[in-house]
Structure 1
Amino acid sequence: MLEARPDGPDVALVCFDHEHYAAAQRARRAAGAERDLAAILGEELHDRIQVLARHARAGRLVPFVGAGVSMGAGLPSWVGLLDELIAQAGMEDDRAALARLDLRDRAALIQTRLGSGELERFLLERLSAASRVALQHQLLASLPVVEAASTNWDDLFERAWRDAGAGRIAVLPLDGQAGADHWIVKLHGTVRDGRLHGVVLTRDDYLRFGAERNALAGIVQALLLTRHMLFVGFGLSDETFHRIAHDVRLVVERGPAIPERDGAYATSLSPSRHAITAELWRGQLDVLSTRRPEDGEGRAGTAPAARRLEIALDALGMLAVDPLGHLLDPSFDGALTVRERRLAAALRRFADEVEPLLREDDPDHPADPAAIAVGRWLDRMRES
C-alpha cells in the first residue's frame, strides 16, 4: 500500500483515452487525492491551482511552455546551451569576457566563430538528443486546452499533445490553422523534419523578430487579453515577451475595464523564488513559486521545488477534468454512484436516439446547424 507522503514514491498512471483519464481522475478525487495534494502544496498554492482549474474547465487556459519544461527531458537551459556552444566553438579561454556580454551578443560571437552551418548542425544534434518528453510536458498536454505558446525550439510539447489524443496540431507560423484541432505559436522558431525554422538566438534574430513576426506577437497578445495564460518553465526575462506584455499593459491601462477579467491576465509557475519579480508584475501576472524556505537556496533547493511544481500540475489536471466522457461508456458503471448511473442511462438514451439523425447523409438536405451543434456537444462530452 503506497502512502501519500511528500517524499514517498511516485506512481504514474497512463491513460490512453479521454474516458479512462476522466474516470481515473474522478476516482482519485473520490479517494481523497485532492486533500493529499493540498497538504503537499500548501493552502495558498492549492487555492491558486483551483483558480487555474476553473479557467481550464471554461476553456480559457493557455499554457506557455518555457525551456525549464524541456530541461526535464534532458535539454539545456538557455544559459546552459550557450555554455555548451562556447566549448564547441573552442572559446573556453574567453568565458570571463563572454560572461560580461548580453546573452544575445554572446550567441552572436559564438555564431561568428562556429559559422552558421556548424551552429545549425550542433543545435539540431542537441535538440534531437531528447528521445522522450518530460513529465511536465505530459501533465500540461493532458489539460483540456487547444491553444498554446512556446519559445522552445524543440517539438516535445507537440509530441506530448499527440500522445494525449490531440488531433491535427498546427504549428504557427509554419502551418495554416484551418482544419487543426489544436495549435501552438512558436515565437522563437522550431525544429521540424531535421531543419531549423526561424530560430531566434542572436540580437540580430531578436531585431528580425520585430520586423517579421509581429503577427505572432499579436496572437499572443490576443491570448493574454482574452484568455488566462499559464507560464511554466519560463523566466519572464525574454525581450520578446517584454514587448508583448508592454503592449498588453498599455491596452489594459488605457482601455475600458474588461468585465470578465478578474485580477492578473496570466500566472507564472516556477520552482525558483522570485519575490522581486512578483512585485514587478503585480496586477498583471501572478508569479507563483513552489519553493519553500526549508528547500534552501541554489541547486539543492531546486529538486524539491521542481517536484512540487509537478505535483501542482498533477493537481491542476485532476481538478480541470469535467468527468462526463466516461458516463457514456457502460464499462465504467462499476465506478459510478447510484445518481451517476441514472444520469448516465439518460445520457446514453439521448445519444442512442440522436446518433442516427446525425449520421443521415442526404446531399439534398445537408446537416442543419442544430444537428452539427449536438454532434459537437456529444464529441466534447466523450473527450472531456
Structure 2
Amino acid sequence: MTHSCPPELKRLYRQGRVLPFIGAGVSMSVEWPGPGGEIIRGPSWGQMVNEAAKLLGYDDPELLRMRGTDLQILEYFRIKKKNFAPLTNWMVRNINAPESALQSSILHKNIAGLNECDIFYTTNYDDFLEVSFKAFGRNHVQVVATEEDMGFRQASTQIVKFHGDFNNPDEMVMSEGHYYRRMRLDGPMDLKLRSDLFGRAVVFIGYSFRDINIAYLFQTVNDMFRGLPNSFSGRRAYIVVQNPSDFENRLFHERNIEVIPAYGSDRTQAAAKILADMAS
C-alpha cells in the first residue's frame, strides 16, 4: 500500500513552512520491556483517566464515566485531591522509556528527521521528543513549556510543550477547568502559537478524531486563520488518519482539514512512511 504525502504539503515542507503537532499516538507507539519482561507502551489518555479513577477509589473507572466525561473525572480528581501530584507521580513512573526504545522507534526517527521544520508542538507531557532528537543527532534543541522559556535565546530547534510537561506541573492542561481557560486563546502559549502559525501549515500526527485535544486544536487553528498564505488549496492544516472512512473525511473536510490516509493495520509504520515521503 502506498503512503504518500500531498504534493502541496511537500512543497510547504521544502520551504520550511510546516509546523508538526505531535499527539499521544506517537508516544503510545514506543515499546520497552518492563521489570517482569512484560511489554510497556507509552500510556494513552484513557489509561491516565483510568488511573485517576483508581486513585479515587474506583476499581471500575466506567462507573465514573457513567456520570461524566474524562475531563470532568479529572476535574473531580483535582477537587478531591487538591492537586494532580498523585497522578503526575504515576505518569512519571510509567512514562519512562529508555533511550534505546526511542532509538528503535521509526516514528520518532522520522519526526527527528524533519530537518526543514524548526518548531515542533506537542500536547504530550513526556520527554520522548527531546530524548529522541538527541539520540538521532539533532542537537541545539530548546524546550518551551512556560512564558519564561520564551525569553531565552532561541536554539536551532524548538519543542513547544503546548500543554505543559512534568518539569512544569503547574502548566499542565489536564482537567475540564484547564481546557475552558485555554479556550480563551489568550494565554502565553496560545499567543506563541498564533505567531508561529503565520505563514505555516500544521500537520497533526498521532491524533484521532476522538482525541480530547483535537476539537480544541482545530478550533484554535480555524479561529486564528481564514486562509494559508500562498496556498493553492487554502488548507490550513493536515492530519494523518489511519484507514479513514467517509465519516472522518467529511467531518475533517468541513473543518478545512485535509486528511492524509495511512492505510494498513500498522499505524506507526504507515505514519512514519508518510513523514519520510514528506521529507524526501
Instruction: Give your verdict on TM over 0.5.
Output: yes
For 2:29 and 2:55, locate their aligned partners in 1 and report how far apart those are by CA, in whole Å: 23
In the alignment, is the contact (CA less than 8 A) between 2:23 and 2:206 conserved in 1? yes
Q: Which residue of 1 aligns with 2:140?
A: 168
Deviation at 1:191, TM superposition (A): 2.2
Q: Which residue of 1 aligns with 2:33?
A: none
Q: Which residue of 2 aligns with 1:143?
A: 114
Which of 238, 258, 262 is residue 286 of structure 1 equivalent to? 258
The superposition leaves residues 46-73 of structure 1 with CA deviations (integer Å, 9 ceiling, x where unpaired) of 252x443332221112211100000012
Deviation at 1:275, TM superposition (A): 3.0
Higher-strand-fraction structure: 2
The answer to whether residue 21 in structure 2 is matched with residue 64 in structure 1 is: yes
Query: Which amino acid in 2 is paired with 1:124?
Result: V
For 1:66 and 1:137, locate their aligned partners in 2 and report how far apart those are by CA, in whole Å: 12
For 1:262 and 1:185, locate their aligned partners in 2 and report how far apart those are by CA, in whole Å: 28
Identity in percent: 20
Q: Which runs of 5+ in 2 are unaligned?
A: 31-40
For 2:159 and 2:122, locate their aligned partners in 1 and report how far apart those are by CA, in whole Å: 7
Q: Which residue of 2 aligns with 1:81?
A: 48
- Using the size of structure 2 for normalisation, the TM-score is 0.79
Q: Which runs of 5+ in 1 are unaligned?
A: 1-39, 293-302, 320-384
Higher-helix-fraction structure: 1
Which of 150, 156, 160 is residue 181 of structure 1 equivalent to? 156
Aligned residues: 257
Query: Which amino acid in 2 is paired with 1:187?
Result: F
Structure with higher RCO (Cα < 8 A, 6+ apart): 2
**Inter-CA distance 115–216: structure 2 relative to 1 (3 Å threshold):** closer
For 1:258 and 1:291, locate their aligned partners in 2 and report how far apart those are by CA, in whole Å: 27
Query: Which amino acid in 2 is paired with 1:95?
Result: E
The answer to whether residue 231 in structure 2 is matched with residue 261 in structure 1 is: yes
For 2:278 and 2:64, locate their aligned partners in 1 and report how far apart those are by CA, in whole Å: 44
Report the structure number with the largest CA radius of gyration. Answer: 1
Query: Which amino acid in 2 is paired with 1:203?
Result: E
**Inter-CA distance 135–90: structure 2 relative to 1 (3 Å threshold):** farther
**Inter-CA distance 163–52: structure 2 relative to 1 (3 Å threshold):** farther
In the alignment, is the contact (CA less than 8 A) between 1:224 and 1:265 conserved in 2? no
Which of 89, 104, 110 is residue 121 of structure 1 equivalent to? 89
Counterparts of residues 268-283 of structure 1 (less than 5 Å): 268-282=239-253
Query: Which amino acid in 2 is paired with 1:280?
Result: L
Q: Which residue of 2 aligns with 1:54?
A: 11
For 1:47 and 1:241, locate their aligned partners in 2 and report how far apart those are by CA, in whole Å: 22
- Aligned Cα root-mean-square deviation (Å): 2.7
Query: Which amino acid in 2 is paired with 1:102?
Result: T
- Using the size of structure 1 for normalisation, the TM-score is 0.59
